[in-house]
Amino acid sequence: MWFQGQVDLPVNDEYKKLNYKKQSAYADDITEWKRQGYKHDSFTGEMCVVKENFEWLNTIAQKIGLSNCGFTFYKMSTGDIMPRHVDHFLTYQKLFNVEKSKVWRAVIVLQDWEPGHYFDIEHRAIVNYKRGEFVLFDAFCRHSAANIGLTDRYTLQITGQLPSLEEI
């Protein structure tokens, strides 16, 4: 299950200056993608798990309806891809002692769409988006992302629990 929405973001680009690091995908996912024909040496973009207190992050999470949140900024440079997959949420489940079925993720775009920036969820392409638009999805939605454009693609991932679907 997934939904789309829009939130107001602060007018700054402090997220571009964060310390991003490449993190490897799970070995089983990589094996499957290579079996499907992907020939990349690495998959995923770069991530920055938020440890500083950006007050506006909590405000956005509340507007979306998520609680007990973790925040990760995600940067995809030219050529970065993340083939179709389902998120694992193992760290979140362990940290908050919850079942996977209770976990939701919002992916918020931090800049207007540019050619070559791509996101797909459950066979639906999301392009031509505006800054602040988001996709909120449950733990079982298949999705993918890629940057075949000429500029970096930035998103904010908020992982949390959705107390009630009526809040959306």
Q: What is the mean pLDDT of residues 110-122?
A: 98
**Cβ contact 134:7 at 8 Å:** yes
Sign of torsion over alpha carbons 130, 152, 117, 74: negative
Q: What is the pLDDT of residue 165?
A: 61
Q: Residue 12 above 90 pLDDT?
A: no
Q: What is the pLDDT of residue 141?
A: 98
pLDDT of residue 41: 84
Around 142, how many Cα atoms within 13 Å sit in the side-chain half-sphere? 7
pLDDT tier at 76, thresholds 50, 70, 90: very high
Residue 54 has pLDDT above 90, yes or no: no
| Token pair 């007050």 in the structure block, residue | 55
| CATH for 2-167, options being 1.25.40.390, 2.60.120.10, 3.40.50.2300, 3.40.50.620 | 2.60.120.10
